[in-house]
Amino acid sequence: MRAAAKAPTKTSSASSSGEFGRVETLPVTGGQAARPRRTTLRDVADAANVDPSAVSRVVNNDPRASVSEATRKRILEAAARLGYRANVGARGLVTSRTWTIGFVLPSLSNPMYEPIVRGVEMEADERGYGIVVGSQIEGKSPRVFANLLQEGRVDGLLVASGTLHDDFIREIVEHGPGPVVMVNRRVEGVKSSVVVDDEGASRTAVDYLECLGHRVVGGIFGPSKIDTAVRRKAGFAKAVAAHGLQSVEVDRPGWRPEDGFTGARRILKEAPEVTAIYASTLLMGIGALRAAAENRRPVPSSLSVVCLHDSPIAEYLVPPLTTVRLPTEQLGRKAVQLLIERLEGGRERAIMIDGDGEIVERASSGPASAWD
């Protein structure tokens, strides 16, 4: 039951620690050279010759502060000169707010997360919050993220991970000490979420292909256990039906180039009559391009390829890849807004960002060629 620290620690005597927050007992005082001590409220108060409480009220712009204009100046000046910044731990202790948000995402390798993270960081920053990013790497149990909440490291959690029926996430949502907002995917039973219109985006892609005259199209989707994949696939299927097209769809266990490659390969083998393939991520699109090359299907003359989510990389692939751009930065921003709203007592709600995406047309797509 007690998980010993696996590292070759010197003080391996400490076997059962770590379970409650600390891993090993370290020598607390190092031989550190005199390092400038952190400036505290008291330092500023002394410098300005006032009580710490006055300083606190002034720097926090508390309306209950009653100080003369002169004193206020003096305090602000001292704070600036000493580079004072409130210690978030101490503040959190009294306000029960750490002003920090945790952001859990499945991996950093998917370029789609870049704008989401940017949106999250910017919005959080503007609202005075810091963020802790945790990518859910293997060997790191999901417990780690519940711990963020339980250790009081963060006030709430943004989760871009998890499957449709994810008991663990539901457990955190129900019994964890802070609000959780799902971003980009939903989990059954979790009411707070913000997503983009993946279904609409798929429709946009199919509409576009239909316009170009494609009548038989392939679609590559992610794991059917994941909400996002389901919605993308549903949008694809509906659009295909609406236009009376023929289609072949494959599900893959991931969203990586590898999955796009094997997915496209299967489509091209089983239904060589397709003239276009829709990949549900950029990474998959890259894999699909490679499968096309390997199957001697020149792009776009013999096969068009389009994918979801634009990225600077798309522009420089061979050939450049046509994508559907979605407001992912906005997704990140909105997620932070909803989480803060919940922290302030707002109720749970599911948000879908408006917009079904816009085609960024590049050389990987073109008119359907006659096939027979």
Partner DNA sequence: ATCCATATGTCAAACCTTTGACTTAAACCC
Partner DNA sequence: GGGTTTAAGTCAAAGGTTTGACATATGGAT
In single-letter form, the type of residue at position 132 comes to V
Q: Is 86 in the site for DNA (CB under 7 A)?
A: yes
Alpha carbon distance 56, 65 (integer Å): 9
Is the N-terminal amide bond of 300 cis, ω within 30° of 0? yes
**Which spans in the chain are helix H?**
41-48, 52-59, 69-82, 88-95, 113-126, 143-150, 167-175, 198-211, 227-243, 257-270, 282-294, 328-343
**Residue 354 binds which entry of DNA, a second copy, none, CB below 5-8 Å type-dependent:** none
**Residue 10 binds which entry of DNA, a second copy, none, CB below 5-8 Å type-dependent:** none
Candidates 43-51, 177-185, 221-229, 300-308; binding stretch for DNA (CB under 7 A): 43-51
Candidates 50-58, 155-163, 258-266, 335-343; binding stretch for DNA (CB under 7 A): 50-58
**Residue 70 binds which entry of DNA, a second copy, none, CB below 5-8 Å type-dependent:** DNA
CB burial of residue 67 (10 Å; 0-12, 13-18, 19+)? middle
Candidates 111-119, 210-218, 235-243, 245-253; binding stretch for a second copy (CB under 8 A): 111-119
Q: Is 142 in the site for a second copy (CB under 8 A)?
A: no
Q: Is 33 in the site for DNA (CB under 7 A)?
A: no
Give the residue, chosen from 14, 23, 67, 250, that forms a contact with DNA under the rule CB under 7 A: 67
Q: Is 52 in the site for a second copy (CB under 8 A)?
A: no
Candidates 39-47, 156-164, 204-212, 349-357; binding stretch for DNA (CB under 7 A): 39-47
Q: Is 14 in the site for a second copy (CB under 8 A)?
A: yes
Q: Is 345 in the site for a second copy (CB under 8 A)?
A: yes
Alpha carbon distance 329, 227 (integer Å): 20
- Beta bridge partners, 152, equal none
Among candidates 50, 76, 146, 145, which has minimal Cα distance to 105? 145
Q: Is 264 in the site for a second copy (CB under 8 A)?
A: no
Alpha carbon distance 204, 360 (integer Å): 11
List binders of DNA among 171-190 (CB under 7 A): none
Q: Listing from the earlier edge strand, what are the strands of the sheet with 156-159?
A: 130-135, 100-105, 156-159, 180-183, 193-196, 350-353
Binding site for DNA (CB under 7 A): 2, 6, 21-22, 28, 38, 40-42, 49-54, 56-57, 59-60, 62, 64, 66-68, 70-71, 84-87, 90-91, 93-95
